[in-house]
Amino acid sequence: MKRGPSAFNLVSLTLGFAFLYLPILLLVIWSFNASKLVTVWGGFSTKWYGALFQNDQLMAAAWVTLRVGLISATLATVLGTLGAVALTRHGRFRGRTLFSGMSYAPLVMPEVIMGLSLLLLFVALKIDRGFLTVTLAHTTLTMAYVAVVVQSRLATFDRDLEDAAQDLGATPTSAFWQITLPNIFPAILAGWMLAFTLSLDDLVIASFTSGPGSTTLPMRIYSQVRLGVSPEINAVCTLLIGVVALGVICWSIGMKWRAVARPST
Amino acid sequence: MKTKGATTPWPKLSALIPYAWLLVFFALPFLLVARLSLSDSALSIPPYTPQIDWSGGIEGLKVFFAALDFDTYKQLGSDSLYAESYVSSLRFAAEGTILALLVGYPMAYGMARCKPATRSLLLMLVILPFWTSFLIRVYAWVGILKPQGLLNAGLGLVGLPPTDLLYTPAAVQIGLVYSYLPFMVLPLYAVLEKLDYTLLEAAADLGSPPWKSFWQVTFPLSIPGVIAGSLLCFIPMVGEFVIPDLLGGPGSLMIGRSIWMEFFANRDWPFASAVAVVLLLTLVVPIVLYQRQQVKALEAGQ
C-alpha cells in the first residue's frame, strides 16, 4: 500500500482548514472595511484602527491585560516548572496523587467553576478584587498548562546526561542548572508563551475576579460584542491575531535556527 | 552508588511551593464553594448568611454550622429549569464531541499521511488557532451567522432562501465544534502519526480491502487518541459559557450560563455555588478518566 495522501485525505484537509481559518480571515478583512455593514464593501480603510487608539477605555483595558499577562505568565512558569520537576523527578511521595490531580484538573475544569471558586477565596481572605486578584487567578489557571508542557519535555529528556555530569564532578545543583535546564528551556519558553496568551484571552475567570479599575481587554470586547458587531472590535481582534501570529512565526523561525546552529557547536 | 531518585538536586522545598499554591488557590476554593452552597442568600456584603463569627469562639462556630442547610439544593431539585439545563448541556457537549470527532478524525488522518515537512506545517496550522483568542473566534461567527451576515449573503448569491441561524441551538453547535476542533485533532494526530503502516501493508497483502483495514487495524489502534480527544472536548464543553451566551438564544440552555446569570444578574451566590457543585459532581467521572489517560500517556513517554 502506498503512503501519501489520497484524494479523500486532501478534501478533508482542505475543508477542515477552511473551516478553521475562514472565520478569522473574514474578521481581518472586515476590520479594513470602510462600511459598518459586514455584507457591504465600502472600500479599504484603516479608520477603525484610528478610532481604536482614540478609545481610552479600550486602551486602558489593553494595558491592564498586558501587565496581568506578563506577571501571571512569569509566576506560572516558575511554579509550573517546579511542579513538573517534582512530578517527574521525586518519584512517589506522600500526597502525589492529589498533587498530580490538582496539576492537571485546571486544564479541563469549566472556567465558570474556577472563576466562582477563586472569587469566594478572595472574599474569604478579604482581599479586594482588582489587579492582584486577576493576576493570582490567571497564575493558578495557566501554571497547569506550563506544567504539562514542561513535563512532557522532561519525560523524554535523557537522565543519563545528568548522571554523567555528576560522575564528572558536577554537584547535583550545577548539573541541573547546566545540563537539565538548557535542555528543557524551549519547553519552558513555550509554556510561558502559552500562559501569556491564555491570560490575554481569558474572559470568564477575569470577570469573576476583577474589580473596578482592572477591567481586562476581553471583558471590554465582550461587553461591546453583546451590543452587536462593531468595526472597532474587528480592528482590536485583528491586532491581537497579528501579534500572536507574529510571535508564533518568530518562535518557529527561532527553533529552526537553533536546530541548524546546534550541530556546529 | 546513589539510586536514581536520590540524584534529584532539588530539595523538597521546591516541590512544596507549587503544591502549597495549588492547595490554597485550587483545592481550598472548592471547599469554599461547597460551604457557600449550604448558606442562604442575603442582602449584605458579601451577599450570604451565615458568616463565621470568630469572636464567638466555639459557640460562634456552633451557631454557624447550625445555620447551614440544604435549601439551595431543594430549590435546585424543585425547579425543572435546572434539570433541563444540565441535560441540555450534556447533550450539547455529547453532540459537539461527536461532530468534532467526525470532522477531526479525517483531518488528523490526512495529516498523518502527508510528507514529514508538510506534516509539521499542518500541525502548526492546527495549533495556531489555539493561540488566538477564543472570544474572538466565537465572535467572528456572529458576523457570519447573523440575519444580514455573510452566510445569508452567500445563500442569496446561489439563489437559496436565507436562514436565521444566529441565536439557535445549531449556532451553538457550530461554535462548539469550531472552537474545540484543535483539541480533538491534536491527540488523534499524535496517535495516528506513530501508527505502524507496515501493519496496513500486511493487511493488504492478506487481501483486506482498504476500508476493512481501516476499521480492523487503524481505528482500533487509534482508540487512545479518540478517548483523549473526546474527553478534552467534552468536559469543557459541558461548562461552556461564552459560546451559548454569544451564539445561543433563550432556547439554548447551558449550565455554565446559568451559573453566570445566578451570580452576576441575580446576585444569588449560594444558589450559583449549588449549581456549580452539581456540575462538578457530574464531571468528576470524565475528569478522573482524563487524568488517568494523561498519567498513562506521560509514563509511556518516559
**φ, ψ (nearest 5 deg) of residue A76:** -65, -35
Q: Searching chain B, which residue's CA lies closest to the CA of residue A143?
A: B18
CB contacts of A104 in chain B (<8 Å) are: 290-291, 294
CA A264 to chain B, closest CA, distance in angstroms equals 23
pTM: 0.85
CA angle (A23, A24, A25) in 5-degree steps: 90
Q: Searching chain A, which residue's CA lies closest to the CA of residue B14?
A: A82
In this complex, do B113 and A5 lie within 8 Å of one another by their Cβ atoms? yes
Sign of CA dihedral A59, A65, A66, A71: positive
Which residues neighbour B259 within 8 Å (Cβ) at sequence distance 6 or greater?
A112, A113, A116, B241, B272, B275, B276, B279
CB contacts of B283 in chain A (<8 Å) are: 110
Question: Nearest to residue B172, comparing CAs of B277, B87, B93, B273?
Answer: B93
Dihedral (Cα; A228, B152, A41, B130), 10-degree rounding? 60
Q: What is the pLDDT, as a whole number, of residue B6?
A: 44
CA A19 to chain B, closest CA, distance in angstroms equals 7
- Taking the C-alpha atoms of residue B40 and residue B38, their distance in angstroms, rounded to an integer, is 7
Mean pLDDT of A70-80: 96
Q: What is the pLDDT, as a whole number, of residue B229?
A: 92
Closest to B141 (Cβ–Cβ): which among A23, A86, A148? A23
Mean pLDDT of A176-193: 86
In this complex, do B139 and A121 lie within 8 Å of one another by their Cβ atoms? no
* ipTM of this complex prediction, to 2 decimal places: 0.83
Question: Nearest to residue B19, comparing CAs of A143, A30, A58?
Answer: A143
Closest to A13 (Cβ–Cβ): which among B15, B111, B143? B111
- Taking the C-alpha atoms of residue A204 and residue A200, their distance in angstroms, rounded to an integer, is 12
Helix, strand, coil % in chain B, rounded to nearest 5: 75, 0, 20
CA B77 to chain A, closest CA, distance in angstroms equals 20
Check residues A158 and B169 and name the one with the higher pLDDT: B169
Mean pLDDT of B258-266: 89
CB contacts of A99 in chain B (<8 Å) are: 15, 19, 22
| Domain parsing of chain B, residue ranges | 17-69+268-302, 89-256
Check residues A43 and B54 and name the one with the higher pLDDT: A43
Check residues B27 and A4 and name the one with the higher pLDDT: B27
CA B56 to chain A, closest CA, distance in angstroms equals 18
Of A135-149, B14-28, B44-58, B168-182, the least confident: B44-58
Closest to B113 (Cβ–Cβ): which among A9, A175, A237? A9
Of A38-42, A212-216, B170-174, B199-203, the least confident: A38-42
CATH superfamily of B89-256: MetI-like (1.10.3720.10)
pLDDT digits (tens, 9 = 90+) for A214-225: 999 999 989 888
In this complex, do A39 and B14 lie within 8 Å of one another by their Cβ atoms? no
Closest to B15 (Cβ–Cβ): which among A26, A90, A152? A90
Sign of CA dihedral B220, B221, B223, B225: negative
- Residues A216 and A206: beta-carbon distance below 8 Å: yes
Q: Is the bond leading into B210 cis (omega within 30 degrees of zero)?
A: no
pLDDT digits (tens, 9 = 90+) for B20-41: 999 999 999 999 998 888 888 7
In this complex, do A197 and B239 lie within 8 Å of one another by their Cβ atoms? no
CB contacts of B15 in chain A (<8 Å) are: 82-83, 85-86, 90, 93, 99
In this complex, do B106 and A151 lie within 8 Å of one another by their Cβ atoms? no
Question: Nearest to residue B244, comparing CAs of A211, A112, A18?
Answer: A112
Confidence of residue A263 (pLDDT cuts 50, 70, 90): low
Closest to A38 (Cβ–Cβ): which among B124, B150, B287? B150
- Taking the C-alpha atoms of residue A14 and residue B7, their distance in angstroms, rounded to an integer, is 50
- Residues A252 and B124: beta-carbon distance below 8 Å: yes
pLDDT digits (tens, 9 = 90+) for B124-142: 888 888 777 788 888 889 8
In this complex, do A113 and B279 lie within 8 Å of one another by their Cβ atoms? yes
Of B90-99, B125-134, B164-173, the least confident: B125-134
In this complex, do B150 and A39 lie within 8 Å of one another by their Cβ atoms? yes
Closest to A203 (Cβ–Cβ): which among B18, B132, B242? B242
- In this structure, what C-alpha cell is assigned to residue A125? 481572605
Confidence of residue A92 (pLDDT cuts 50, 70, 90): low
Mean pLDDT of A83-112: 81
Q: What is the pLDDT, as a whole number, of residue A15?
A: 92
Confidence of residue B1 (pLDDT cuts 50, 70, 90): very low
In this complex, do A241 and B133 lie within 8 Å of one another by their Cβ atoms? yes
Confidence of residue A31 (pLDDT cuts 50, 70, 90): confident
CB contacts of A24 in chain B (<8 Å) are: 129, 132, 136-137, 140
CB contacts of A136 in chain B (<8 Å) are: 25
Which residues neighbour B66 within 8 Å (Cβ) at sequence distance 6 or greater?
none
Closest to B22 (Cβ–Cβ): which among A103, A152, A248? A103
- Residues B101 and A169: beta-carbon distance below 8 Å: no
